[in-house]
Amino acid sequence: MSVVKQFYFIGDEPSTAKSVQIDLKADLKALRQTVALVLHVADYNGISFHLGKDTLELLEDVTAAKEAIGLRIDGQPVRDPQGPEGLPVVGSFYEVFPDHLGNHYRLFRKYGSVIKTTNMGKTTYLTEAPEVAVHAFTESTYFTKKINPSHPLWGIKDNTAIFIGDTETENWRLAHKFLPPAMSPKAVRHYTPLMQQCVRDSFSVFDAMDEQDRSFNVYQYMIKLASQTIGKFSLNMDLGHFSSVDAPLHPIVTDIANLLSLNKKVTARGEWYRWLPFGDPKKLQEVQKHTYSILQEAIDNAAKAVASDLTLNDAALQASCVVDYLLRATDESGKKLPTSLIVANMMIVTGAGFTTTSALLSWLLYSLVTYAGAQDRLLQELIDSGISNETQWTPELASSLPFLDKFIKETQRLHNPSFQPGRTTKTEVIVPGGYRLPADAVIIPAIHAIHTNPKVWKDPSTFDPDRWDTPEVKNRHRSAYVPFAMGARGCIGFNFALQEVRILLSELVYRYEFAREGLEAIEYDPEFQLVRPLNFYIRAKKRTVWPQKSA
């Protein structure tokens, strides 16, 4: 048997109530689930039932009600997210930029855990709440990755590429089938010697700068190191970044970096700006076309040396690089990734690979020279673990260093390169905290704000690697730490990225003592797709003595 009752959100008028059929044999949990489906509530666990001043805690009380029943979400009335009122035309642009990380944090403190900003005609919602982020990251009835004009990636959207295309497409399904095996843990083992060799090939340049008593811009050399590694991994190309101290960046690197910088500039200034036939919008189109052209040439060159076809897993372990894998890998039906999808996906593998790890390596070096004791402690762990100039790295060895692991995690918590993984609502939805999001709205789990949310992290602005040993952090919400996002659209290359930075950083710290050069406050680039330091300089002094092993 069943009965029909009326439900509305407290915060709305009772006249907005909707009819819900209730199974009289159900319990209150089942009722919450049913109501959530009808009224589009992302998390049914937060629903409570109210009649006047009374809270209805029994199913019998709900079914006996003669009036429409009010709903609260997590004890809150349902309301629209708030944000700065802004100015005509530009909206809240000047409330957010240039220091978007700091200003978003400030706005969360003022308006709550979900905020609304309107910049140059584009409305975007952001959240610092793990409870909201976990739903946004989940491909579901309510959320997906659909890159619309309000999305941060709108300027470079390409539905033939895995990261910059929509989820609900056949192209994404195919890319998500073929690409992940090339970056699985087993595949990462296959490429571990490559990582080791690339960092050791860089030593001649860092040694030369030490001999010259020369400091260097960290990001400029970390992008050389990261892209040299990714160039070999993705395209089997030697980009020549360490042929000399001042060797230029390869055009494929400068093009991809320019692409991300131009996209950030264009999308931050509104849809009207994107269509200008000159300036940055025109440059964005030209650079994207040129980048694809260079990649296609590299793919064509790699194709000349392609061997026989293999299954997905076998190809991942035997290929010389990712493009070789994609040209050889076949699925269970003997089909390959369509050639029309290879170039765009190789742009993602190459570009996302080096832009993320170069920024992360830069921030890891920043943490080494900024936070007292970190460099000495990491070096001691390397010594105690038997690391030397002759070490042959394996995934097991790289993963067996507990302080290195905590150090990387804490750096990513405070200084994560990625900060704006946008997702899009498929329908109007009520998220935890009682915030109403309209259909086709872009919501960004603001990674920096989540990682420094004082409701989640104790002393969030303090760099403390040992927090990762505490029960508080071990039992954290699963979306409280999301350096690579999460869910079906999370970073597919995180295994490779973490292995890469573990090996590269360890090799650098064992060989060099790093010291900060200058006292100028470090600025991050507000007009880049990732958070990278602009004016961070260090000296790398080649070690001649090392500490003894701990007793």
User: What pLDDT is recorded for position 273?
Assistant: 81
User: What CATH class has 175-246+264-417+484-542?
Assistant: mainly alpha
Distance of CA 58 to the CA centre of its chain: 43
Say how far apart CA 99 and CA 94 lie, in whole Å: 9
Share of the chain above pLDDT 90, in %: 85
The 8 Å CB, 24+ separation contacts for 87-94 are: 89/120, 89/121, 90/119, 90/120, 91/117, 91/118, 91/119, 91/120, 91/121, 91/122, 92/117, 92/118, 92/119, 93/119, 93/120, 93/268
Say how far apart CA 457 and CA 453 lie, in whole Å: 6
Same fold, 2-73 and 175-246+264-417+484-542: no
Break the chain into its structural domains and give their ranges: 2-73, 175-246+264-417+484-542
pLDDT bucket at 103, cuts 50 / 70 / 90? very high
Give yes or no for residue 268 having a pLDDT over 90. Answer: no
Who's near 125: CB < 8 A, 6+ residues apart? 81, 114, 115, 116, 117, 437, 441, 442, 443, 444
Give yes or no for residue 549 having a pLDDT over 80. Answer: yes
pLDDT bucket at 356, cuts 50 / 70 / 90? very high
| Overall average pLDDT of the 219-242 stretch | 96
How long, in residues, is the chain?
551
260, 265, 266, 269 alpha-carbon torsion, rounded to 10°: 150
| Overall average pLDDT of the 458-469 stretch | 98
Reported pTM:
0.95
β strands within 113-215, DSSP E:
114-119, 122-127, 143-144
User: What pLDDT is recorded for position 467?
Assistant: 98
- The answer to whether 225 and 241 are in contact (CB under 8 A) is yes
User: What pLDDT is recorded for position 262?
Assistant: 85
| Overall average pLDDT of the 326-348 stretch | 94
Q: What ranges in 454-544 are assigned the alpha helix state H? A: 471-474, 494-511
pLDDT bucket at 281, cuts 50 / 70 / 90? confident
Say how far apart CA 271 and CA 3 lie, in whole Å: 49
pLDDT tens for each residue of 171-229: 999 999 999 999 999 999 999 999 999 999 999 999 999 999 999 999 999 999 999 99
Q: Does domain 2-73 have CATH number 3.20.20.140?
A: no
Structure-block tokens of residue 317: 């372990």
Share of the chain above pLDDT 70, in %: 100
Q: What integer best gives the mean pLDDT of the chain?
A: 95
pLDDT tens for each residue of 394-428: 999 999 999 999 999 999 999 999 988 999 999 99
User: What pLDDT is recorded for position 529?
Assistant: 83
User: What pLDDT is recorded for position 298?
Assistant: 85
Which H or E element spans position 165? none
Q: Give the CA count within 13 Å in the CB-facing half-sphere of 453.
A: 25
Give yes or no for residue 22 having a pLDDT over 80. Answer: yes
